Amino acid sequence: MRWAIDDIPLFAAVVDHGGMSAAADALGMPKSTLSTAVARLEKGLGLRLFDRNLRQLRLTEEGTTFYRHAQMILEQVREADATVAGLRAEPAGRLVVALPPAFCQEIVAPRLGRFHAAYPKIKLDMVINAHGVDLLRDQADLAVVVGPLADSEMVVRTLIAGPLIWVASPQYLARANLGDSLDDLVGHLQICEQRYALPAVPVHVNGQPARLDLSAGLSHVGNPLVVRAAVMNGAGIAPLPRHYCLDQIADGSLVQVYGHVTFDVAASTISLVYQGRRLMSPRLRAFIDFLVDICRNRNS
C-alpha cells in the first residue's frame, strides 16, 4: 500500500467539515497536519482528490469516489470496534434498502410495524425502484430484485422461488371458452407485467418447449398488483407470480388455469443482494433476517 490508512479519517474529516480549517478546529490539530495527510493520499493514489483555490476546497470526481469508499472503510472500523467492545447489542443506525414496488406494498409494508417494534433504533430508508439497482451508485445497503441475475461479486440470496402461474377471475371463466392449446390461451390475454412483455417468452406445454409472444396485442404495466386487480375484475387471463396470488386463490377471487403451460421458475424469483463484506453490520443482519422470515410462507 502506497498510502497510510491512518490518513483516511483525516481526509474524511476535511470533506465532512467542508475544508481544512474547519476540520482542524473540530479535530483539535494543526491545519498543516491535515494538509500533509491529504497530500500523502493524493501522492500514494496518483490522483487529485481536491480542486483548490484561495477560498474553497472542492472534491474532484475521483475524490468523490474515494470518499464513498473511505466512508465504507470507516464504518467497518467503527462496527468492528463496537462489536469487540460489546456496544452494539441493539442494532442501530441508518439502513438504506431498495425494494420493488409490489414487493414493498404487498409483503414488506404490512409487516413494517413488527420490524420497527423489534428494532426501534434502526432508521430505515426505503427506495422504491422497479428497475435494477447498483448498490454502490445508489448508496444502498441491500436491494431486492426480481428475476434471474447476472453474475455478480455481490452476495445473492433467494427469498421467494415461486413460479409464474396463469390466473383468471371466476366471473370471466363462467363466460369464457378456454380451450386447451397455446393459441387458445393467447386469445384470452389482455394484460401482463412489463418485464414479461417479450416476443418469445420460453414456456413448456405439457413438458414440451414452446415460445409465447407477450409483446403485442395486450396492455403492459410495471406492477404485478395492477395486473392482479385487472384480472380480478374480468380482464381475461394473465401470468402472475404465485406469491402474489396465494390469498386470492385461497378465497376464490382468482382461479389458476392452464396448469399445463409453465414458465421457468427463475422468471419470478425474488432475491436479495448485498455487498459481500466480511463484517456485516447488525442492522443489515436484522433486516435480512426480517425479510427471510416474512417471505418464508410465500414459497409454499
Taking the C-alpha atoms of residue 204 and residue 89, their distance in angstroms, rounded to an integer, is: 51
pLDDT of residue 72: 85
Give domain limits for the chain: 7-85, 93-155+269-299, 164-266
Buried b (16+ CB within 10 A) or exposed e, 125-144: eeeebeeebebeeeebbbbb
Taking the C-alpha atoms of residue 144 and residue 28, their distance in angstroms, rounded to an integer, is: 43
pLDDT of residue 212: 93
Topology at the third CATH level for domain 164-266? D-Maltodextrin-Binding Protein; domain 2 (3.40.190)
pLDDT of residue 255: 97
Residue range 210-226, pLDDT digits in tens: 999 999 999 999 999 99
Q: Which three cell numbers stand for residue 288?
A: 435480512
- Domain 93-155+269-299: CATH superfamily is Periplasmic binding protein-like II (3.40.190.10)
Residue range 129-184, pLDDT digits in tens: 876 666 655 678 899 988 877 656 778 899 998 889 999 999 999 999 999 999 99
- In the chain, which stretches have pLDDT less than 50? 87
pLDDT of residue 300: 56
pLDDT of residue 89: 60
pLDDT of residue 75: 81
